[in-house]
Amino acid sequence: MYNLSDASTVRKILERHGFNFSKALGQNFLIDPDVCPEMAENAAVSENCGIIEIGAGVGVLTAELCKRAKKVVSIELDKRLLPVLGETLSEFDNYKIINADVLKTDLKELINEELTDCDEVCVCANLPYYITSPVIMKLLEDELPIKKIIVMVQKEAAERLTAEVGSRQSGAITVAVNCYAETRLLFEVPKTSFMPSPKVDSAVIELTMKKGGEGIDDPKFFFSMVRAIFNQRRKTAVNSISSGMGIPKAKVAEALKSLGFPEIARAESFTLGELVSLAKELKKLCS
Ligand code: SAM
């Protein structure tokens, strides 16, 4: 049994396999003995649960998940890590490594094929930061039968993802995430907890899937309005929506007025519910 939180142990294993870290694949492996057990403890909601992990690395988090869940399916893009994982995870028989790009993987099919005998499914990962937003949006939009997502992301991304809609830190992704999940920042992780050490600090967040939707009847229209507002967040909503969506200013102003907003309202003026109402009103006036 290896101590995968020990930097010199991990270095020796990797050297033996002739492995060099790939910056392009966001390979910063966790070497903090407290972080993976805590992430796994939050993700493995019961002994009978299934876990999807994104990016196994040397298996430091995978091993903690295997100890607590019924089955772990880990998607790892770098095929050089497969023999490494064969060695580091040899004591477990409840995992499967899929050598694939998570963004090109049909996760619904994966759950149906690999995790149907689990009571519930959660996602747990120390994400490769270059694909943080697309991975999170894929997990939320693919209508997966998952209970929650526990992921490590860059600290600034964690703050944005868990910000309150309408706060200064919120952005289009905050709105999008809040449509699907309750968000919570669990704990921060310093850059020294990784090998090699990245330039930025990190944080672990929890996204618990919401049961019902937010009453969004046309997601395409809603999200294009949200992007228009937040892409030009310093402008008034009248100007940003009008230029971003090609809708006459008078129509946008009318929609805002009918909902009781002043003409100077901008990105930070709206709660999630108010954005949903604004999109509905705007669509009504435009059709
Ligand atoms: N879980 C390990 C840990 O905590 O030490 C590794 C985390 S490391 C930040 C991210 C991992 O994701 C790397 O092993 C990398 O090869 C893998 N990866 C990068 N891009 C990927 C992709 N598109 N699909 C699946 N895995 C990917």
- Reduced 3-state DSSP string for the chain: CCCCCCHHHHHHHHHHCCCCCCCCCCCCEECCCCHHHHHHHHHCCCCCCEEEEECCCCCHHHHHHHHHCCEEEEECCCCCHHHHHHHHCCCCCCEEEECCCHHHCCHHHHHHHHCCCCCCEEEEEECCHHHHHHHHHHHHHCCCCCCEEEEEEEHHHHHHHCCCCCCCCCCHHHHHHHHHEEEEEEEEECHHHEECCCCCCEEEEEEEECCCCCCCCCHHHHHHHHHHHHHCCCCEHHHHHHHHHCCCHHHHHHHHHHCCCCCCCEHHHCCHHHHHHHHHHHHHHHC
Q: Is the CB of 103 under 6 A from ligand 1?
A: yes
Residue ranges matching CATH 1.10.8.100 in the chain: 219-286
Question: Which residue, by CA, sits nearest to atom 23 of ligand 1?
Answer: 101
Question: Which residue, by CA, sits nearest to atom 11 of ligand 1?
Answer: 55
Per-residue pLDDT at 143: 86
Q: Is the CB of 114 under 6 A from ligand 1?
A: no
- pLDDT tens track of the chain, all 287 residues? 899 999 999 999 999 999 999 999 999 999 999 999 999 999 999 999 999 999 999 999 999 999 999 999 999 999 999 999 999 999 999 999 999 999 999 999 999 999 999 999 999 999 999 999 999 999 998 889 999 999 999 999 999 999 999 999 999 999 999 999 999 999 999 999 999 999 999 999 999 999 876 888 888 899 999 999 999 999 999 999 999 999 999 999 999 999 999 989 999 999 999 999 999 999 999 98
Per-residue pLDDT at 13: 97
Q: Which atom of ligand 1 is nearest to the CA of 103?
A: 23
Architecture of the domain defined by 219-286 = Orthogonal Bundle (1.10)
Q: Which among 2, 54, 75, 153 is the best mutation to test ligand 1's pocket, defined by most ligand atoms within 8 Å of the CB? A: 54
Per-residue pLDDT at 171: 92
Question: Which residue, by CA, sits nearest to atom 6 of ligand 1?
Answer: 57
Class of the CATH domain delimited by 7-209: alpha beta
Per-residue pLDDT at 144: 94
Per-residue pLDDT at 211: 83
For ligand 1, the distance from its centroid to the CA atom of residue 19, given in whole angstroms, is: 14
